[in-house]
Structure 1
Amino acid sequence: MLLSMFEFTPVTVVCLTIAVVSLFGRTDGTTGDERAHTRTRNIRSVLQDDSLRTRISLPRDDSMPATVVPDDATILYSGSLPNNTKFMPEVGNGHIATVVQSDTMFMNGLYNGYNKTSHRARIPSTAGYSIDKVLPAELTRSYTLDVGRGLFTESHLSDDAKISLRTYAHRLYTSTLVTELVISRRNNDTEVGALVRLNSGSPSEDIDFKDLSDGLIHGRTLTAEYPEIAGTTEFYMKVSPSLHGVVRLSPENLTETFLAVTVIDVHQEAVEAEYAEVIKAFEEGTLLSSHVNEWNKLWSSGRIDVEGDANIAKLNYASLYYILSSLPSNGSRKDWPFIGLSPCGLAHGRKDQDARGNVFWDQEIWMFLPIALLYPDLGRLIVETRTRILESARKNAQQTGWEGALYPWESAFTGLETCPLAECSLYVHINGDVSFMIRQYWQLTNDKELMINGSGAEAVWETAKYWCSRATYESITDAYRITGVIPPDYPHQSVNDSSYTNSIAAINLAFANQLALEFGKAENTTWKEVENKLHLPYNAVEDFHPEFDGFNVLDDVEEADVVLLGFPLMVPMNISTKRNDLTIYERLSKIDRVPTQTWSSFLTGWLELGDEIKAAELFARSLRNVQQPFLVWSQYENVDDPTNFITGMGGYLQSVLFGYGGARLHDNNMTFNPRLIPGTTAVKFTGINYRGCNFDVHYTKDTMTVTLTAIMPGHRSLDILFEDKINWQEMMNGQNINARRQHFIIRSSQ
């Protein structure tokens, strides 16, 4: 008998969850401290015993839907899991996410902790399933992360039987986590089953759960981030029978699929509708296919393919997958907005770990640009994470004694400062980072609606006011100085005239006036004066930019800083100065202490100077932080915390698109200077979006094809100018334009 080989475990854990969360939670002023007596319990402890309830199942296995991307570049296969569980992969849809088989789930916007202790509120997992034992016992176990379809699967296989446990965060039903256990056999003589385990872990320290009725659970975070802005968050969970325990194939069936889902939403009325839609889709056999179809839409709109190196091909897709898994597929929601990209994504961020789920400058400088280039709607969504909290930024500036708006170094639910360190108030370059992202989005899309109605221009103007308030005029040198800051190279505390800070502040001020003129306002002469007279440290003897006034060239460097002046800031400088900046700061960088995205900055700089050998060396160095078999990234080499470091993936994608692709954004055009990625024989960028048009770039060592693939309604076509041509050529939709591989320019048709 099947049960004789298993240690039976009663079924008492969640498999179907539906949650409703109010936008600002409680409004009665109750604080976490006042409710300290409330007992916080695990989800398991507040559920009634559902062992007698029937599991959700159907006697079929829906065939695996086709995908538009190549399986050999998107399926990451392994016969075993990583020894270090921090390198386990994740599934997410921008609203809900989990590391597979872990004891934790996170939801966008659900935070717990007062003031600077805010962190993602941990929900004990209802989807952390794994298989402990199987019958027949000789089945071979394997694991796959299918980034093309957005699935993680644990499989047990023989000639006569197959058991598959797949987990995915649904891209159509955007509040849903799905687990499907599929059991199949060749004939009815073979008994097949599995002992399934659910890892729900210890009780949550962030949420109090209470059982309300049959499968309905009330949850509430314990402590509001800033109670004067927003109270604690309440939500509700409804559960159905769990897959935890013994699951076996019914005697009459050759195949059976068992379902467990977790659904989280923010409106009471949406709960039953989502539940009904998910169950109906499962019954009709469209639950999996509708999920894969949404991934197909994403990959069809934008992706990176290479030939000649299977590892690079997989890394491109995996890097996009992990970042996209932390971005909502249903756009911006006014009722429950997307908070932003944390350095370790949505599946990480519990208390004192993985950046606590807070948003840093990583989003603006490292992750935004490659996503916006391929997925402009998602680019806008990222920009809106900053325009949404403009009032909080204004309040932050007032509290620190300055005018305008000052974005927090770390932000979570309210948009106020959540960095636990006192010196975080000196990371003022975040203001320039936010404005710079808005500038890049403007150059890429010319989205006037966001600028006017979405507070994009207002955010730029308010940060410009801050810089003018913060800068101090020095009459002796006739220059403005910004003192007492922390530059991107953070070990240097409270320095004066950071090269990066002053450069990005000047760009912020110039862009503020550019937008003023664009929208019929007069040029602000104060902004203009401060922009023109901001001091930029420069050592004329050694022809390089010191990190700040008084910088010692014998100091260690731990973060990309001055090299960012070359890219992405594109600060005008002599070629010799750029070369010296790269040489000096690479020499000072501590290889074992520099985060992986730093090397992409150096790589891009050397490619601008035409040194492909040096760039290849740095490209290889950046890949040392990629962890097999599921291509999870660590921030530092040989260090497992924090993970999964999507900041590093953003830097890597920049090295592919803007380093080897040579893409550059300008006010009135976009340029490319494509080179082959080391080890590849061909590269194809699908779905580059510029000013309402999509185009593909496909190139080899010698040849290149550029194809306009779509023109959005209300937009003009594109013109292209090759380096070896004199005249611009209008691009026709669907027409392949062939040329030798070379520098070229794209602009909106005149």
Structure 2
Amino acid sequence: AGDPLLEVKSLFACVGSSTRSHLSSPHSLFIYAHHSLVHLMAFSITIWRSAHTTQPITVQLQTPFVPKSQDLDLNQGPDFQGAQYVYGKTLVPEVEGGPRPTVHMLWTPVPQTLTLRGEERERSWEFLMAVAESEEEAKRSYREGLALMAAGSLHSSHVHAWAMLWRGCCIDLDGPLPLRQALYGCLYYLLSAIPPRGNPGFLFHGISPGGLSNGTQGEDYWGHVFWDQDTWMFPNILLFYPEAARAILEYRIRTLEGALRNAQEQGYKGAKFPWESAATGREVCPEEIYGAQEIHVTGDVLMAFEQYYCTTQDQKLFREDGGWKLVDAVAQYWCSRMVWSEEEQCYHIKGVMPPDEYHYQVDNSVYTNAVAQRSLNFAADIARDFLIPVPEEWVDCAKKIKVPFDAEKKYHPEYDGYSPGEPVKQADVVLLGFPLMYPMSSEVRRNDLEMYEPITELDGPAMSWSMFAVGWLELKEVQRAQSQLNKCFSNITEPFKIWVENSDGSGAVNFLTGMGGFLQAVLFGYTGFRITRSSLRFNPALPNDINKLNVTGVSYFGNKLKFTIAKEEIRIKVIESHQDPLAPPLEAVLEESGQRFPLREGMVSSPGSAS
């Protein structure tokens, strides 16, 4: 189940080389997915001489690739411009009676040998593969790749497309080199996964925790989409590239019909987004317990819509492009999922699995209930903005839902009946503070962190420690925060900064969820950025070994901002503005004094060290 394109392995992955010459024969291999021709993969081999000789040098290529699949009904098509061509449908639909997407694949035949002739000092060979859901798109991509190859600009066009993308965002800091490298690595892999710019009509299928599925049974989650996309990756993407963030939301809108069906089949109203989503929005998780109980994903999806709305004020997405229908359906779901407790005089949500997957069939998961409350509040707010009558049920359920709290110990139990000290798989209650921004005192925030930090699984999913770091940064406990963030480095493998899901090396590879959490620890932790309905707040906290942090390309209301944060001051510069001329001008406001600093394009404002 899932996007069939994710199951196709490249023939280039199995290429090896050897030489039949007694001379040394330096050669280089390039394999890359072209950044602007998004259906194209390229492979090039360059051979050059390291000594003055005229003897031919031959490199042998081993290509065990065979166009067969246990998942696709493949057929041989006619060759196209020198490329071999196969196409076929997925054998099994993701749900009974569902669509069976088609895959079309073209590739350059790979010879058994390549020879550098005696008079040649250096030579390169390039090979292409195009994979798409339509014959037209596959052939167009292959044809354009051939044209660039003939002009000698295939690789340079790829490099240029990446350079243009990097121009839009940058995170740099004056601090430890391993931290800088990890940040650039995380940003690179996350940007590799977002929908391409300047490709209108491109059908985006969401981002899976491990990126592309490697085809192994159970590994990398088959390319399915989880809350990982909406909660862990989305905020970073939104901060720099709201158009890519919009494409993620459009994926959820496109799969809304499946979510409506999920809720109906479980006996509820509205839309229940699947724990594992693919092409239709129907539940495709192979283990029923998660799809039935880990329902917080529905609130996580809506929180992404809320963050987008607060950052962009893009009303068109909601009024015309299906966003309001989704918001309305999610609110209906939460109301139908709640039951009234006469004893406690509040609403309960029973029989769920919280983000902590060690526990299931629990009542009133504090995270699940809090995210449901946030969903209902947002639905009511946006209805008021659009002058739509707000159902009384939404307001009542949001106001009266139970959010477990221990008034004696002043902390949030994970669910009804939770006993302090019970092991926790991953970040759960600590997510109340961020990203939920659930109201609580500093004392309660600290108690939650201290309660759950020592009992959270040390070898659990990589993103957990980033959220503990954000919590400690909120409290200005910067060294405690850094000790938590340092735990993430055990999930990073060298030399290419590939992340594994768990520190023991198990789980998904390359684990984008962990990278998303790590980036948030810097983008929302060190800076203190908080997306609210009225503003983009910031309240920095830098560890002792970081002297300065530059965040360039922050998008807010059509503006691109650069934040320079140092121990002594904060500088904000508007580097680009496409703001609606009728919109009020941007200002930086010091919360304590109320002092205002205007923000205009090209102008630098220094609001000091206050938030």
Q: Is the 8 A contact 1:349 1:355 kept in 2?
A: no
Question: Which residues of 2 match residues 596-745 of structure 1 at below 5 A?
Answer: 596-676=462-542, 679-712=545-578, 714=580, 716=583, 717-722=585-590, 726-738=594-606, 740=608, 742-744=609-611
Contact map agreement 1:502 1:536 (CA 8 A) in 2: yes
Is 2:83 the counterpart of 1:217?
no
Q: CA deviation at 1:130?
A: 4.1
Over 3 Å counting, the alpha-carbon distance change for 1:166 and 1:738 in structure 2 is same
Is 1:490 aligned to 2:357, yes or no? yes
The question of whether the paired residues in 1 share the 8 Å contact of 2:130 and 2:139 is answered with no
Quickly say closer, same or farther: Cα 1:315–1:138, change in 2 above 3 A.
farther
The residue aligned with 1:544 is: 411
**Cα distance change on mapping 1:199 and 1:569 into 2, 3 Å:** farther
Whether the 8 Å CA contact 1:174–1:330 is kept in 2: the answer is: no
Of residues 5, 10, 13, the one that matches 1:125 is 10
In the alignment, the residues of structure 1 paired with residue 436 and residue 64 of structure 2 have an alpha-carbon distance, to the nearest angstrom, of 46
Cα distance in 2, alignment partners of residues 346 and 393 from structure 1: 23
On the 8 A contact 1:127/1:261 being kept in 2, the answer is: no
Pick from 501, 505, 508: which aligns with 2:372?
A: 505
Report whether the alignment pairs 1:553 with 2:438. no
Give, in whole Å, the separation in 2 of the partners of 1:726 and 1:577: 27
Query: Whole-Å Cα distance in 2 between the matches of residues 582 and 318 of structure 1?
Result: 28
Q: 2:446 aligns with which of 579, 594, 617?
A: 579
Q: Secondary structure at the match of 1:698?
A: strand
For normalisation by structure 1, the TM-score amounts to 0.77
Question: 2:275 aligned to 409, 413, 422, which one?
Answer: 409
Q: Deviations over 1:649-694 (max 9, x none)?
A: 0000010101112111110101112233564332211100011100
1:80 match: none
Alignment of 1:221-260 (within 5 A): 221-230=90-99, 232-243=100-111, 245-260=112-127
Residue 169 of structure 1, CA deviation: 0.7
Give 1:324 shift: 1.9
Aligned partner letter, 1:437 = A
CA distance in 2, matches of 1:340, 1:349: 18
Match of 1:165 among 20, 26, 29: 29
2:153 aligns to what?
286
Question: Which amino acid in the other structure matches residue 500 of structure 2?
Answer: S
**Residue by residue, what CA displacement relative to the aligned partner does 1:3-44 show, whole Å, maximum 9, x if unpaired?**
xxxxxxxxxxxxxxxxxxxxxxxxxxxxx9xxxxxxxxxxxx
Match of 2:65 in 1: 200
1:322 and 2:189 correspond: yes
Take 2:10 and 2:131, find their aligned partners in 1: how far apart are those partners? 13
Which residue in the other structure is 2:220 paired with? 354
Residues 262 and 272, structure 2, Cα contact 8 Å, conserved in 1:
yes
Establish whether residue 338 from structure 1 lines up as the match of residue 338 from structure 2.
no
| Residue identity matched to 2:106 | K
1:381 to 237, 247, 272: 247
Query: 2:79 aligned with 1:179, yes or no?
Result: no
Which 4+ runs in 1 deviate beyond 6 A? 135-138
Partner residue in 1 for 2:234 = 368
The C-alpha deviation readout for 1:175-221, integer Å capped at 9, x for no partner, is 10011112233656364443333353794221232323333323332
How big is each residue's C-alpha offset from its partner over 1:49-95, in whole Å with a ceiling of 9 and x where there is no partner?
Answer: xxxxxxxxxxxxxxxxxxxxxxxxxxxxxxxxxxxxxxxxxxxxxxx
Is the partner of 2:18 in helix, strand or coil?
Answer: strand
Give, in whole Å, the separation in 2 of the partners of 1:224 and 1:510: 37
Q: What amino acid is the match of 1:210? A: N
For the pair 1:300 / 2:195, whether they are aligned, the reply is no
Range moving further from structure 2, 458-467 or 212-221: 212-221
Determine which structure has the larger strand proportion and give its number: 1
2:393 aligned with 1:526, yes or no? yes
Higher relative contact order (CA 8 A, sep 6+): 1
Q: Residues 263-307 of structure 1: CA distance to partner in whole angstroms, max 9, x if unpaired?
A: 123333334433322111111122112111111111100121123
Q: What value does the CA root-mean-square deviation take over the aligned residues?
A: 2.2
Q: Give the TM-score normalised by the residue count of structure 2.
A: 0.94
2:472, 2:38 → 1: CA distance? Answer: 42
1:325 aligned counterpart, secondary structure: helix
Q: Offset at 1:719?
A: 1.3
Alignment CA distance shift 1:319-1:349 (3 Å): farther
Whether contact under 8 Å (1:181, 1:258) holds in the other structure is yes
CA drift of 1:137 comes to 6.5
SS of the counterpart of 1:573?
coil
Measure the CA separation in 2 of the matches of 1:168 and 1:191: 28
CA distance in 2, matches of 1:204, 1:474: 53
Q: CA 1:724 to 1:523, structure 2 compared with 1: closer, same or farther past 3 Å?
A: closer
* CA–CA separation in structure 2 for the residues paired with 1:393 and 1:124: 30
Deviation digits for residues 472-495 of structure 1 (CA, Å, limit 9, x no counterpart): 112232211111111111121111
Letter of the structure 2 residue corresponding to residue 662 of structure 1 = G
Specify the SS of the correspondent of 2:243: helix
CA contact (8 A) 2:213 2:222 kept: no
Structure 2: gaps (5+ residues): none
1:521 and 1:185 mapped to 2: Cα distance?
73
User: Would the aligned equivalents of 2:557 and 2:579 in 1 still touch at CA under 8 Å?
Assistant: no
| 1:396 matches 2:396 | no
Contact 1:392 1:414 (C-alpha < 8 Å) held by counterparts:
yes
The equivalent of 1:459 in structure 2 is: 326
| 1:142-164 per-position Cα deviation (integer Å, ceiling 9, x unaligned) | xxxxxxxxxxxxxxxxxxx6421
Taking structure 1 as reference, are residues 604 and 618 closer, same or farther at Cα in structure 2, changes over 3 Å only? Answer: same
Q: Secondary structure at the match of 2:363?
A: coil
Q: 1:90 aligns to what? A: none
Answer yes or no: is the 8 Å Cα contact 1:184–1:192 preserved in 2: no
1:235 corresponds to which letter in structure 2? V
**Does structure 1 retain, via aligned residues, the 8 Å contact 2:104–2:133?**
no
Q: Deviations over 1:305-326 (max 9, x none)?
A: 1233222222111111112222
Describe the shift of the 1:332–1:452 C-alpha distance in structure 2 as closer, same or farther (beyond 3 A).
Answer: farther
- Aligned residue type for 1:635: E
Contact 1:697 1:707 in 2 (8 A): yes
Residue 127 of structure 1 aligns to a residue whose secondary structure is: helix
Residues 493-537 of structure 1: per-residue CA shift (max 9 Å, x gap) = 111111001100000001110011011112221100010000111
Change (3 A) 1:443 1:360: same
Equivalent residues of 2:558, 2:578 under 8 A apart: yes
Q: How does 1:107-146 map to 2 (within 5 A)?
A: 109-110=3-4, 120=6, 122-134=7-19
Residues 252 and 138 of structure 1: CA distance in aligned 2, closer, same or farther (over 3 Å): closer
Quick one: structure 1 residues 331 and 599, their matched pair in 2 at CA, closer, same or farther if it must change by over 3 Å?
A: farther
Give the one of 440, 454, 469 matched to 2:307: 440
Corresponding letter in the other structure for 1:126:
L
Distance 1:527 1:723 in 2: 32
